[in-house]
Amino acid sequence: MSRHRRPQGFQRTDRIADQIQRELARVLRFEMKDPRVDMVTIQDVRVSRDLSFADVYFTLLGRDADAGTEAEAVLGGAAGFLRSALAQTLNTRTTPRLRFHYDLTPEHASRLSQLIDEARAEDRAQSPDQEDQDHD
Protein backbone atom coordinates (compact mmCIF):
# COMPACT_ATOMS: atom_id res chain seq x y z
CA MET A 1 0.00 0.00 0.00
CA SER A 2 1.35 3.41 -0.95
CA ARG A 3 2.08 5.91 1.81
CA HIS A 4 0.04 8.55 0.00
CA ARG A 5 -3.19 6.61 -0.30
CA ARG A 6 -5.93 7.41 2.15
CA PRO A 7 -7.57 4.69 4.24
CA GLN A 8 -10.47 2.97 2.49
CA GLY A 9 -13.06 4.19 5.03
CA PHE A 10 -12.10 7.82 4.48
CA GLN A 11 -12.51 7.53 0.71
CA ARG A 12 -15.88 5.88 1.17
CA THR A 13 -17.22 8.60 3.47
CA ASP A 14 -16.00 11.26 1.02
CA ARG A 15 -17.76 9.51 -1.84
CA ILE A 16 -20.98 9.15 0.17
CA ALA A 17 -20.79 12.80 1.29
CA ASP A 18 -20.49 13.90 -2.36
CA GLN A 19 -23.44 11.74 -3.33
CA ILE A 20 -25.53 13.12 -0.46
CA GLN A 21 -24.64 16.68 -1.45
CA ARG A 22 -25.70 16.15 -5.08
CA GLU A 23 -28.89 14.30 -4.18
CA LEU A 24 -29.95 16.82 -1.50
CA ALA A 25 -29.43 19.66 -3.96
CA ARG A 26 -31.67 17.85 -6.45
CA VAL A 27 -34.40 17.06 -3.91
CA LEU A 28 -34.38 20.61 -2.52
CA ARG A 29 -34.63 22.07 -5.99
CA PHE A 30 -37.29 19.80 -7.48
CA GLU A 31 -39.23 18.18 -4.63
CA MET A 32 -39.38 20.63 -1.70
CA LYS A 33 -41.97 23.32 -2.27
CA ASP A 34 -41.22 25.44 0.81
CA PRO A 35 -40.23 29.01 -0.19
CA ARG A 36 -38.11 29.33 2.96
CA VAL A 37 -35.59 26.89 1.48
CA ASP A 38 -35.85 27.72 -2.23
CA MET A 39 -32.51 29.55 -2.29
CA VAL A 40 -30.55 26.99 -0.25
CA THR A 41 -27.14 26.01 -1.58
CA ILE A 42 -25.50 22.93 -0.06
CA GLN A 43 -21.89 23.96 0.64
CA ASP A 44 -20.51 20.83 2.26
CA VAL A 45 -21.50 17.47 3.71
CA ARG A 46 -19.45 15.62 6.30
CA VAL A 47 -20.37 12.03 7.00
CA SER A 48 -19.37 10.29 10.24
CA ARG A 49 -17.06 7.34 9.83
CA ASP A 50 -19.78 4.87 10.88
CA LEU A 51 -22.29 6.55 8.50
CA SER A 52 -24.71 7.27 11.34
CA PHE A 53 -24.78 11.05 10.77
CA ALA A 54 -24.30 13.50 7.93
CA ASP A 55 -23.69 17.13 8.84
CA VAL A 56 -25.00 19.30 6.02
CA TYR A 57 -23.70 22.87 5.73
CA PHE A 58 -25.73 25.28 3.61
CA THR A 59 -26.00 28.95 2.66
CA LEU A 60 -28.90 31.07 1.49
CA LEU A 61 -28.38 33.40 -1.45
CA GLY A 62 -29.54 36.95 -0.87
CA ARG A 63 -31.01 36.33 2.57
CA ASP A 64 -30.11 37.49 6.08
CA ALA A 65 -29.06 35.44 9.10
CA ASP A 66 -32.63 35.27 10.42
CA ALA A 67 -33.74 33.59 7.19
CA GLY A 68 -30.81 31.18 7.57
CA THR A 69 -31.88 30.26 11.08
CA GLU A 70 -35.45 29.74 9.85
CA ALA A 71 -34.24 27.61 6.92
CA GLU A 72 -32.16 25.52 9.34
CA ALA A 73 -35.32 24.81 11.36
CA VAL A 74 -37.33 23.99 8.21
CA LEU A 75 -34.63 21.61 6.95
CA GLY A 76 -34.36 20.02 10.38
CA GLY A 77 -38.11 19.42 10.32
CA ALA A 78 -37.88 17.93 6.83
CA ALA A 79 -34.86 15.76 7.70
CA GLY A 80 -36.96 12.58 7.75
CA PHE A 81 -38.41 13.27 4.31
CA LEU A 82 -34.97 14.15 2.94
CA ARG A 83 -33.40 11.07 4.51
CA SER A 84 -36.09 8.88 2.90
CA ALA A 85 -35.35 10.46 -0.47
CA LEU A 86 -31.64 9.77 0.04
CA ALA A 87 -32.30 6.15 1.03
CA GLN A 88 -33.74 5.53 -2.44
CA THR A 89 -30.52 6.56 -4.18
CA LEU A 90 -27.70 5.79 -1.73
CA ASN A 91 -26.15 2.37 -2.07
CA THR A 92 -25.55 1.94 1.65
CA ARG A 93 -27.00 -0.43 4.22
CA THR A 94 -28.06 2.52 6.37
CA THR A 95 -28.80 6.12 5.49
CA PRO A 96 -27.16 8.71 7.75
CA ARG A 97 -29.35 10.90 9.93
CA LEU A 98 -29.16 14.46 8.63
CA ARG A 99 -28.13 17.47 10.73
CA PHE A 100 -28.36 20.86 9.04
CA HIS A 101 -26.10 23.83 9.81
CA TYR A 102 -26.49 27.33 8.40
CA ASP A 103 -23.04 28.37 7.14
CA LEU A 104 -22.27 32.02 7.89
CA THR A 105 -18.91 31.99 6.09
CA PRO A 106 -20.11 33.85 2.94
CA GLU A 107 -21.77 36.53 5.07
CA HIS A 108 -18.63 36.97 7.16
CA ALA A 109 -16.51 37.14 4.01
CA SER A 110 -18.80 39.76 2.51
CA ARG A 111 -18.69 41.84 5.70
CA LEU A 112 -14.88 41.60 5.85
CA SER A 113 -14.63 42.65 2.21
CA GLN A 114 -16.89 45.63 2.92
CA LEU A 115 -14.75 46.65 5.92
CA ILE A 116 -11.58 46.41 3.82
CA ASP A 117 -13.14 48.54 1.08
CA GLU A 118 -14.21 51.12 3.66
CA ALA A 119 -10.72 51.21 5.20
CA ARG A 120 -9.12 51.65 1.77
CA ALA A 121 -11.53 54.46 0.90
CA GLU A 122 -10.75 56.13 4.23
CA ASP A 123 -7.00 55.80 3.59
CA ARG A 124 -7.38 57.31 0.10
CA ALA A 125 -9.41 60.20 1.51
CA GLN A 126 -6.71 60.93 4.09
CA SER A 127 -3.82 60.63 1.65
CA PRO A 128 -4.77 61.45 -1.98
CA ASP A 129 -1.12 61.15 -3.14
CA GLN A 130 -1.10 57.46 -2.15
CA GLU A 131 -3.65 56.58 -4.86
CA ASP A 132 -1.29 57.79 -7.60
CA GLN A 133 1.52 55.61 -6.18
CA ASP A 134 -0.79 52.54 -6.08
CA HIS A 135 -1.29 52.70 -9.85
CA ASP A 136 2.44 52.72 -10.70
Residue 74 is predicted with a pLDDT of: 95
Considering the domain architecture, whether residues 91 and 116 belong to the same structural domain is answered as: no
Considering the domain architecture, whether residues 115 and 82 belong to the same structural domain is answered as: no
Residue 1 is predicted with a pLDDT of: 39
The enclosing domain of 51 has a CATH number of 3.30.300.20
pTM, to two decimals: 0.73
Please report, in tens digits, the pLDDT of each residue of the chain (136 residues total). Answer: 334 444 554 588 999 999 999 999 999 999 988 988 988 999 999 999 999 999 999 998 777 778 888 999 999 999 999 999 999 998 888 999 999 999 887 777 777 888 898 889 888 888 766 555 555 5
Contact criterion met (CB below 8 Å) for 67 and 32 = no
Residue numbers of the domain that contains 119: 105-136
In a domain, 35, yes or no: yes
In a domain, 81, yes or no: yes
In a domain, 54, yes or no: yes
Residue 33 is predicted with a pLDDT of: 87
Considering the domain architecture, whether residues 47 and 86 belong to the same structural domain is answered as: yes
Considering the domain architecture, whether residues 90 and 131 belong to the same structural domain is answered as: no
Residue 62 is predicted with a pLDDT of: 73
- Domain count along the chain: 2
Residue 99 is predicted with a pLDDT of: 97
- Residues in a beta bridge with 100: 56
In a domain, 2, yes or no: no
In a domain, 52, yes or no: yes
Considering the domain architecture, whether residues 14 and 63 belong to the same structural domain is answered as: yes
SS (H, E, C) 14-46: HHHHHHHHHHHHHHHHHCCCCHHHCCEEEEEEE
